[in-house]
Amino acid sequence: MSLSGLIGSINTAAANTGSSHVNDNECRELLQACERLRSAYETPLDVVTRLYYSIPQAIVLRLGVDLKLFNAVVKLSGKSANGEFSVQQLAGETGAEPLLLARILRFLATMGIVREVSKDTFSSTPSTAAFISSSSLASVVIHGTHFLNILSKLPEYFAQKGWNSPNDADDGPFQFATGTQSHYFDFLSSEPYYQQAFNTTMTASFRRKGQSWFKFFPVEEKLRVEDPMAPLLVDIGGGQGEDILAFRDKFPHLPGKLILQDLPVVVEGIQGTISPVEAQGYNFFDEQPNKGAKAYYLRTVLHDWPDKQALQILARVRESMTPESLLLINEVLVPETNRSLSSVVADLAMMTSYAALERTQAQFEAVLNEAGFELVNVWRPDGVEVQSAQQAVLLEARLKR
């Protein structure tokens, strides 16, 4: 196909998106193909320009979220017969200066978030409502732009600290950037605005990758206890119980106690409300109160910690286990090579916020071995390739024998 023919086909496809029915997988493949095409034709200057412009775009989105501008745009567009509104009307809704609003709106119009109709007149687009205050994407914008503040200090951090991977959660890029000695999680607990944005981002549906672990792990075969009062499954750092409650609903007949553990501030509002699951306030750096459980479960816990602290967490689990106990770790394993953009961004986020990392299977095996465990198996959902970075897997480990 000629270049002009290719351009024509792309433009035709873009103009007819409303009439085509594309599922999520097809959409992902289409976008990946577009990305490969762009990479093939971009010059180094194009790359730098695109990356340079992406940072102001994120910040302007944050301005809109903080100002509740998108809420006001949706409201005004809904009240107008043609969906249009003036900058003066928006100023009345938000309390912001008209000149500033016009500058923000013009920027958002270049991103397709609003549409510029004429001078100082705009309308909403299908993307506008995605950023209203109640949307999870608004929280992602808040969390992501706050992360940019820390990220921008990385060059200074490495220049002063040396060019080595951070390895201490209490003395890493976050502490350097903010001038605090607090861990990132402790900082969040003192900043409700960022804590709420973090919580919403972490629980957003788009972050959950793949099937629930118990759909591809042989639960009936592996998780059995005879005593109904014995601990069957201890979900360590399990938040408000999304995973263990789903497990309970799937296997209501299994004997044994189901125990959810997280910091007291996390579980205090649900204690007594999720029966028969028992909610315990617990810090996973402390001694584990539940001895000899059949399985101890950690979902996306260890990727928040460098090896130094990961070994401390695992030591508390090891001390409580018997030879019959299992350690189940639900994490995304990153491939050794050819990582995706989302994979390397996640790894950078772990390094910057927690001095931690996203681990390969070999890195997990090394940590487990040092902590006194042996890896028994890596359970993957059906159809997931060994090197896939898009699906969470389940690592099954036991005490070294």
User: H helices within 67-161, ranges in order?
Assistant: 69-79, 87-94, 98-110, 136-151, 154-161
Domain boundary among the residues 183, 206, 229 is at 206
- Residue 208 binned pLDDT confidence (cut-offs 50, 70, 90): low
Are 242 and 322 in a shared domain? Answer: yes
Q: How many domains does the chain have?
A: 3
Mark whether 80 and 168 lie in a shared domain: no
Average pLDDT over residues 241-263: 94
Residue 294 is assigned to a structural domain of this protein: yes
Q: In this predicted model, what pLDDT tens digit does every residue of 279-304 receive, in sequence order?
A: 999 999 999 999 999 999 999 999 99
- Specify the pTM: 0.82
Listed residue (116, 118, 96, 117) closest to 105, CA to CA: 116
Looking at the domain assignment, is residue 31 inside a domain? yes
58-85 b/e (C-beta count within 10 Å ≥ 16 → b): eebbbbbbebbbbbbbebbbeeeeebbb
CATH number for position 364: 3.40.50.150
Residue 345 lies in a domain: no
**Could you say which of 86, 107, 130 is where a domain stops?**
130
At residue 386, does pLDDT exceed 80? no
Q: Is 121 in the same domain as 148?
A: no
Claim to verify: residue 13 and residue 121 sit in the same structural domain? yes
Count of helices and strands (H, E) across the chain? 17, 10
| Low-confidence winner among 171-185, 362-376, 379-393 (lowest mean pLDDT) | 379-393
pLDDT band per the 50, 70, 90 thresholds, residue 374: very high
Same domain, 201 and 230: no
> Is residue 211 exposed (0-12), middle (13-18) or buried (19+ Cβ within 10 Å)?
middle
Helix axes 136-151, 341-354, angle to 10 degrees: 60
- Relative to beta strand 326-332, strand 295-299 is parallel
| 146 within some domain | yes
Do residue 284 and residue 327 come from a single domain?
yes
Tell whether 222 and 361 lie within a shared domain.
yes
Per the structure, the complete domain to which residue 14 belongs is given by: 3-130
CA distances from 351 to 18, 123, 154, 172, 305 (A): 41, 40, 10, 8, 9
Same-domain check for residues 202 and 331: no
pLDDT in tens, 121-140: 999 999 999 999 999 999 99
Mean pLDDT value across residues 383-394:
65
- Asked if residue 348 is part of any domain, the answer here is no
- By the 8 A CB rule, do 83 and 77 touch? yes
Please list, in sequence order, all residues whose beta carbon lies within 8 angstroms of the beta carbon of residue 167, skipping any fewer than 6 positions away: 306, 307, 308, 355
Residue 238 has pLDDT above 80, yes or no: yes
Note the pLDDT tens digit of each residue in 168-193. Answer: 999 999 999 999 999 998 999 889 99
Residues carrying an active site annotation: 303
